[in-house]
């Protein structure tokens, strides 16, 4: 049956479309996407790219993703040559259990059959490998329990990707969309599996700090910063196994009681 397209897929493909219109010497440093309509997973999407500006160091592109004659996503993507600088620091630090120390494909062994089944479904549907260093929000809110709006997961593309920086940036955009919006549900004791909730992503922004491989393990550390007025704002930081901050993510989405 046709299902709603995964937003990260459309956003990742928009990054690819924009990047193919700039010189390879310019790498992407930010992508700002707005989800306007739900896409359908089994129909083609046409990506149109408009050149906004090509400056001495930066290039800006606007992308429209069109399906069935309607725009389902718009994106502004910015690319740069890169400047040599002695100034560099990062605040986020890697504090999760190293991925090679975790037991089993679902992380800690006490997640149970239902959790393991859900992880396997995610891996197959999204073509990713993922490991939870601790129980995610979905598990901690069972029975309506309230929990803090924080979760983390190790993840990577399940297939080896080509040695192309743009492809890996697009894959990071794809990976960054997974489970981020659900983080804000923790204090409310709910999960997206609850029939009483309706939800949809409104926008999705990724800032790329360092080139990385999306087929190698990345820790996505997520926090639900604010829920109110039917919207949830969540933030994520993506770090390599060595602790290098490779991307920062922000996403806002609709979360409200369903009228169905």
d(CA 51, CA 20) in angstroms, rounded, equals 11
Give backbone dihedrals phi and psi of 159, rounded to 5 degrees, phi first: -105, 150
Residue 132's pLDDT is 93
Type and span of the H or E element at 167: helix 165-176
d(CA 189, CA 213) in angstroms, rounded, equals 35
Question: Chain-centre distance of CA 108, in angstroms?
Answer: 23
Provide the 10 A C-beta neighbour count for residue 229: 7
Write the pLDDT tens digit of every residue in 144-185: 999 999 999 999 999 999 999 999 999 999 999 999 999 999
Instruction: Output the pTM of the full model.
Output: 0.92
d(CA 232, CA 245) in angstroms, rounded, equals 24
Mean pLDDT of all residues in 177-198: 89
SS3 label, residue 148: coil
pLDDT bracket for residue 111 (50, 70, 90): low
Query: What DSSP designation does 64 have?
Result: E
């Amino acid at each position: 049956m046709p299902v709603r397209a995964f937003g990260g897929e459309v956003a990742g493909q928009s990054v690819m479309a924009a990047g193919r219109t700039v010189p390879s010497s310019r790498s992407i440093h930010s992508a700002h996407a707005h989800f306007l309509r739900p896409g359908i997973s089994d129909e083609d999407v046409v990506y149109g790219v408009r050149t906004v500006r090509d400056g001495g160091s930066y290039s800006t592109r606007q992308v429209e993703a069109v399906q069935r004659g309607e725009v389902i996503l718009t994106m502004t993507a910015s690319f740069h040559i890169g400047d040599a600088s002695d100034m560099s620091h990062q605040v986020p630090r890697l504090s999760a259990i190293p991925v090679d120390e975790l037991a089993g494909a679902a992380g800690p062994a006490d997640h149970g059959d239902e959790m393991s089944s859900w992880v396997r479904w995610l891996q197959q549907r999204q073509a990713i490998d993922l490991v939870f260093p601790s129980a995610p929000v979905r598990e901690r809110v069972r029975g309506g329990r309230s929990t803090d709006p924080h979760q983390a997961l190790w993840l990577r593309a399940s297939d080896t990707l080509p040695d192309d920086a743009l492809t890996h940036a697009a894959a990071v955009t794809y990976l960054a969309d997974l489970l981020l919006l659900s983080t804000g549900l923790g204090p409310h004791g709910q999960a997206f599996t609850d029939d009483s909730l309706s939800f949809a992503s409104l926008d999705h922004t990724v800032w790329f700090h360092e080139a990385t491989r999306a087929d190698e393990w990345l820790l996505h550390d997520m926090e639900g910063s604010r829920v109110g007025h039917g919207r949830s704002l969540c933030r994520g930081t993506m770090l390599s196994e060595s602790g290098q901050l490779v991307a920062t993510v922000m996403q806002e989405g609709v979360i409200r009681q369903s009228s169905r």
